[in-house]
Amino acid sequence: MPTICWFRRDLRLGDHPALLAAVAQARADDDEVVALYVVDPVLQHSAGAPRLAYLAASLRALDEATGGRLVVRHGRADHVVPEAAREVGATSVHVSAATEPYGRRRDDAVAAALAAGGAALVRTGSPYAVAPGRLRTGQDGPYQVFTPFRRAWLDHGWHAPAPRPGSVPWATLPSDGVPDAPPTDVRLPDAGEHAAHARWRAFLRDDLDGYDVDRDRPDLDVTSRMSVHLKHGEIHPRTMLADLAAAGTGATGRAAESVATYRSELAWREFHADVLWHSPDATRRSLRPAVPDDAWATGAGADDALTAWTEGRTGYPLVDAGMRQLRAEGWMHNRVRMVVASFLVKDLHIPWQRGADHFMAWLVDGDVPQNQLNWQWVAGTGRDAAPYFRIFNPVTQGRRFDPDGAYVRRWVPELRGVPGAAVHEPWRLPDGPPPGYPDPMVDHAHEREVALADHARRPT
């Protein structure tokens, strides 16, 4: 009897325990594995063109890796998956467990529909080194704070990477074909498992050493850019953690620090997935309100301010550079993500959810747990969030992390003629901002005071 491996956000063949389980079952039955991907209208609707275009490229790579046997079907998963199982007579559908709210609901519906036909949804592994929900505090509750979570995560540890299956007996079935990539001007990185490993190896070789310090410098552009590959599951974090452990063996000083810092960033990814596991409504709801509802800007003025922010026309160069990088690359440096998010929430007084929606429309690595919980962190509304009074100053952040202004000049052509760090305060130039570049849309010092006064009135 054939068995099905239903790929979702695990678009790879290596270190894939669910695929191994499917292959083992097929071999035991002396039969084949169906490589299934379902184009789900709900997920298609919530992703912007850049992420959909990347997904199409990643699916093409997976199709190639399966020798052209990827079976793509369109429709609701709770219809399509049981139908495929009936079509081939499969009694089990193997998946890596989904852990976000939508994926969990979808999988429960699929499991119920499969069970009605006598088949089972078999969940093996997840997109994380330690499955969300597994770690519990001494009081048997969820972790609220990152540092103890990370300690427990490190103590718990994880399995070694799963072996890559040898030859897989892929089944041949009619397929609707990989969806066309929607048009986009965003410059996308290479997609697929092979590209993910190539990027990772290049990072380990060229940039891991020094990551502990340089990762905060958007001008240097030395972070790994693995988020997009992790989002689509083209590599499993366990593979990366094993490589980091190897890189850290015998390392001292900065090299050892860099390994520990990178591992810690992966721990943030796992922490956010864990928080969302326990609080699924954190996708939209602030986990703890930071200001009263009447503090938020509304109406046409707020809409115009949001538009200026999305288009990179705020008059604050670091903010504008980040927002333009997002539109050009579907990615933004982490430090700058924090600065632009803080600016939206604390300088423009616009709720974090509106900024998170814009990010999800443009980010190629857009990922519900990471995006929503990082927005809540900056907004001061999340578990273990930055305190609300920590308001990023876009000028001092620019001077500190883009000291020569190279990042701003790369993304804001109107400012290319302004040398050095002066680029962070174009309103102080003798003739004011160069032609075409706006004056600051708000006074940061004033808006900071407004935000703090709002916070003082927060509901308790």
Ligand X SMILES: Cc1cc2nc3c(=O)[nH]c(=O)nc-3n(C[C@H](O)[C@H](O)[C@H](O)COP(=O)(O)OP(=O)(O)OC[C@H]3O[C@@H](n4cnc5c(N)ncnc54)[C@H](O)[C@@H]3O)c2cc1C
Applying CB under 6 A, the residues found at the interface with ligand X are: 215, 223-227, 230-231, 265-266, 268-269, 272, 334, 337-338, 341, 359, 363, 365-367, 370-371, 374-375, 378
* Nearest distance from C-beta of residue 317 to ligand X, angstroms: 19
* Nearest distance from C-beta of residue 51 to ligand X, angstroms: 10
Complex with ligand X: residue 110 or 276, whichever CB lies closer: 276
Sort strands 71-74 and 92-95 into parallel, antiparallel or unpaired: unpaired
* Nearest distance from C-beta of residue 3 to ligand X, angstroms: 31
Complex with ligand X: residue 109 or 154, whichever CB lies closer: 154
Q: Where are the alpha helices (DSSP H) in 91-236?
A: 101-116, 146-156, 193-206, 211-214, 227-231
- Sign for the CA dihedral angle at 106, 108, 110, 112 comes to negative
C-alpha angle 296-298-301 in degrees, rounded to nearest 5:
120
Q: What is the H or E stretch that residue 36 is in? A: strand 33-39
* Nearest distance from C-beta of residue 450 to ligand X, angstroms: 21
Residue 71 bridge partners (DSSP):
36
Do 258 and 266 meet the contact criterion of CB atoms below 8 Å apart? no
Complex with ligand X: residue 112 or 245, whichever CB lies closer: 245
For residues 288 and 293, what is the distance between their CA atoms, to the nearest angstrom? 12
Best CA proximity match to 363, nearest among 399, 331, 400: 331
Phi first, then psi, for residue 136 (nearest 5°) are -130, 150
* Nearest distance from C-beta of residue 157 to ligand X, angstroms: 18
* Nearest distance from C-beta of residue 458 to ligand X, angstroms: 21
Complex with ligand X: residue 92 or 96, whichever CB lies closer: 96
* Nearest distance from C-beta of residue 228 to ligand X, angstroms: 7
Complex with ligand X: residue 211 or 437, whichever CB lies closer: 211
Best CA proximity match to 427, nearest among 416, 440, 418, 417: 440
* Nearest distance from C-beta of residue 321 to ligand X, angstroms: 15
- 3-state DSSP assignment of residue 93: strand
* Nearest distance from C-beta of residue 319 to ligand X, angstroms: 13
- 3-state DSSP assignment of residue 121: strand
Rounded to 10°, the helix 101-116/77-88 angle is 40
Beta-sheet strand order (sheet of 92-95): 71-74, 33-39, 3-7, 92-95, 120-123
Phi first, then psi, for residue 415 (nearest 5°) are -105, 10
* Nearest distance from C-beta of residue 168 to ligand X, angstroms: 28
Complex with ligand X: residue 93 or 379, whichever CB lies closer: 379
Do 82 and 113 meet the contact criterion of CB atoms below 8 Å apart? yes
Complex with ligand X: residue 268 or 296, whichever CB lies closer: 268
For residues 278 and 204, what is the distance between their CA atoms, to the nearest angstrom? 34
Complex with ligand X: residue 25 or 258, whichever CB lies closer: 258
- 3-state DSSP assignment of residue 120: strand
Complex with ligand X: residue 16 or 236, whichever CB lies closer: 236
* Nearest distance from C-beta of residue 333 to ligand X, angstroms: 6
Complex with ligand X: residue 126 or 370, whichever CB lies closer: 370
Residue with tokens 């072996």: 163
Question: In angstroms, how far is CA 292 from the centroid of its own chain?
Answer: 29
Contacts of 121 (CB under 8 A, 6+ apart): 81, 92, 93, 95, 107, 110, 111, 114
